[in-house]
Amino acid sequence: MKDFINRLYQNHSLIYKGLLFITTTFLIVYLFPKSGKFKYNFEKGKPWQSENYYAPFDFAIIKSEEEVQQEKDAIETNALLYFNLDSIVSSRATALFETKFNSTFSDTIPRLKRNLLFSTGKETLERFYQFGVLDEAYNFPDDKPVVILKGRTIYEKTYFSNLIKPDAVLQVITDMLSAKNLDAYKTNFASLFFDIIGPNLTYDRSFTEKVLQDDFDNISYSRGSIERGTLIISKGEIVEGEKFQLLNSIKSEYESQVWSESNYNWILFAYTLLVALALLMLLLFLRKYRNTVFEDNTKVTFIFFNIFLIILLTTLVVNYSSTYIYVVPICILPLVFKAFFDARLGLFAHVITVLLLGFIVPNSYEYMFLQIIAGIVTILTVSELYKRANLFISVGQITLIYIVAYFAFFVIHEGTVETIKVETFIWFILCGLATLFVQPLIYAYEKIFGLVSDVSLLELSDTNTKLLKELSNKAPGTFHHSLNVANLGESCANEIGANAMLVRVGALYHDIGKMKNPTYFIENQSTGINPHDELSSKESAKIIIEHVINGIETARKYNLPDRVIDFIRTHHGTSMVYYFYMKEKELQDVIIDKVDYCYPGPKPFSKETAILMMCDSVEAASKSLKEPTSTKIDAFVENIINKQIEEDQFLNANITFKEIESIKKVLKHKLANIYHLRIEYPE
């Protein structure tokens, strides 16, 4: 049992990666659409590339979107309008008319004329309430069919033109009086009717919309059927018109039939295999080419988290409306990975993510082509992300590539530019603007995952930071030495393609441990008094060696990133404090334990930490050069770095002999400039 627990502990890192791999796989598969995939790819307007295709089963022909829309438009045009009738209004108006007529028209009017006015009033009332008076002005076509409801039963069917609008009451009265040659009584008549006429029809919007929706729901989305074995399309035939509709119909039927309860588990298993395969490729890439990243569980978690986040975001957008699919800023992924790792890893992870998204998005080939091209452009154009102008320029180029590629695909599919959707270009512009969110996202990731980007390195390289100011005050000689090492290291890193900003920051902070006992280091001894004269060689070596441990403690106190602390830990590797070792050896003939005079390590394990070790040793030792010449400097640089190679100090660093030679060349050139060497002129 104890051995089993020990093995678990020894392999806990691999176990964690395995659990992370399995969890991410299942989460991604859970986001996939619950449908099968039609095994043939086809595009409208392009030839059918496969062999002659026959219907594998009976299926219904699905109507095109245009056909369905035409049916909906026809239903909407002929849809009935429903109005509720208030029957009490007409009865009340009739009663009021009979009551108020006598008071409005006096007995002085001739009897025949008065009777004509009364009968005309009755006819006018009948005209108003034959179908009804509307409670407000509605903007419907006159030929729109109308149903008048009394309670919940149909009372009358007519057209909207027969209903009296509120603003048409006076016109109806005028027309009725003119027909009877009673225009002289228009004022009194109008006054009478405006007192008694009231609206009795109210538009029932909810019921009208419900009936319309029921009609929409009853639309058949298929027309006719195709029997099994019928030739659907021949090889080389252009996919368009009816052929395109048939293929879409069988594709839809196929996907609905494949994802059935009987084979649900098999399809789920197949999806899981494909996703696992893609993620496994990513892990193998990290294991083979980015082993330092692979060994760091936090970084692996960060990579998997970002891939899942992009897939989740895209899935949510597709489920809402696939119209907005290109608003999702996929190019944030390679930007983030390039900021924290490198371009190659960023592009590889981007391609893996886009391949997985191909299962989710419509028009997967077009989508994957656009996103992979955009990812390549992102990797190629974005450099020095900490410079804001570079990000804006890169985002502009990415947006332009999206627009150009989409335009090309649209022309290929449609064969014309007349029907191109301009709003799609707006989605690409919004995508570009969303990509700018990468800056605050990088900052958030630094805080959450403890990673370091070039933006943070730029902030740390400011010599006005609290820690560097403290170093310049307490140990001015060390601070000056650190500045020189930073300049040398930056030049060397640029020469071999390493991270120059990281080397510069590492160089600025590599000796902060000397602040604890600054006068014990020769560059800070301005008074000529050497405190080592009062100590034994072993004690002096211990103080010198401890500046590494003190530096790590100080860095932790000031929350410096681990990538910077790595330079403090490794800038001396496991080398020896040679001066005090030889001094002790001269004083005693006994065997001396070298461990007491060696730094604890570790040795440099990256190009950047190896560069710092070389530059630090060369810069520090160069102060001992007397009457330097070009020959002396060349031999001096060769001796120091060759000795480090002999001691296997660079064994763990991924640096080549060719790169070391390039670094030597830069150091020789820089030292020659520092000492202002001139060629010797002949006498």
pLDDT tens, residue by residue, 169-214: 888 888 887 887 877 778 877 787 887 888 889 999 999 999 999 9
Q: How many other CB atoms are there within 10 angstroms of residue 238's CB atom?
A: 13
Distance CA 358, CA 365 (A): 7
Q: What average pLDDT does the chain have? A: 85
pLDDT band of residue 549 (cuts 50, 70, 90) is very high
Per DSSP bridges, beta strands 222-226 and 59-62 are antiparallel
pLDDT attached to residue 173: 80
Q: What tens digit of pLDDT does each residue of 413-427 get?
A: 767 777 777 788 888
Residue, of 459 and 678, whose pLDDT is higher:
459
pLDDT surpassing 70 at residue 358: yes
pLDDT surpassing 50 at residue 611: yes
Interacting residues of 53 by C-beta distance below 8 A, sequence separation 6+: 40, 231, 232, 233
Lowest-pLDDT choice from 26-30, 108-112, 178-182, 665-669: 108-112
pLDDT attached to residue 316: 92
pLDDT band of residue 681 (cuts 50, 70, 90) is very low
pLDDT attached to residue 412: 77
Q: What is the DSSP letter of 64?
A: P
* Across 599-619, average pLDDT: 93
- Sheet (strand 201-203) strand order: 153-159, 145-150, 81-85, 201-203
pLDDT attached to residue 260: 57
Residue, of 627 and 2, whose pLDDT is higher:
627
* Across 472-497, average pLDDT: 93
**Nearest residue to 485 (alpha-carbon basis) of 570, 665, 611, 578:** 611
**Nearest residue to 243 (alpha-carbon basis) of 254, 229, 253, 231:** 231
pLDDT surpassing 50 at residue 304: yes
pLDDT surpassing 60 at residue 677: no
pLDDT surpassing 60 at residue 680: no
pLDDT surpassing 80 at residue 396: yes
Residue, of 279 and 499, whose pLDDT is higher:
279
Please report the beta strands in 108-185, taking only residues with DSSP state E, as ranges in sequence order.
145-150, 153-159
Q: How many other CB atoms are there within 10 angstroms of residue 190's CB atom?
A: 15
Distance CA 95, CA 192 (A): 13
* Across 360-365, average pLDDT: 83
**Under 8 Å between Cβ of 493 and 507:** no
pLDDT surpassing 80 at residue 384: no
pLDDT attached to residue 562: 87
pLDDT surpassing 80 at residue 7: no
pLDDT surpassing 60 at residue 36: no
**Nearest residue to 392 (alpha-carbon basis) of 573, 384, 20:** 384
Amino acid at 575: S
Rg (CA), the chain: 43
pLDDT surpassing 60 at residue 349: yes
**Under 8 Å between Cβ of 86 and 149:** no
Q: What tens digit of pLDDT does each residue of 569-599 get?
A: 999 999 988 777 777 676 666 667 777 788 9
* Across 488-494, average pLDDT: 94
User: 545 is written with which tokens?
Assistant: 């060696």
| DSSP string covering 511-526 | TGGGGSSGGGSGGG--
| DSSP string covering 232-284 | EE-TT-B--HHHHHHHHHHHHHHHHHHSSTTTHHHHHHHHHHHHHHHHHHHHH
Cα torsion at 55, 60, 62, 63 (round to 10°)? 120
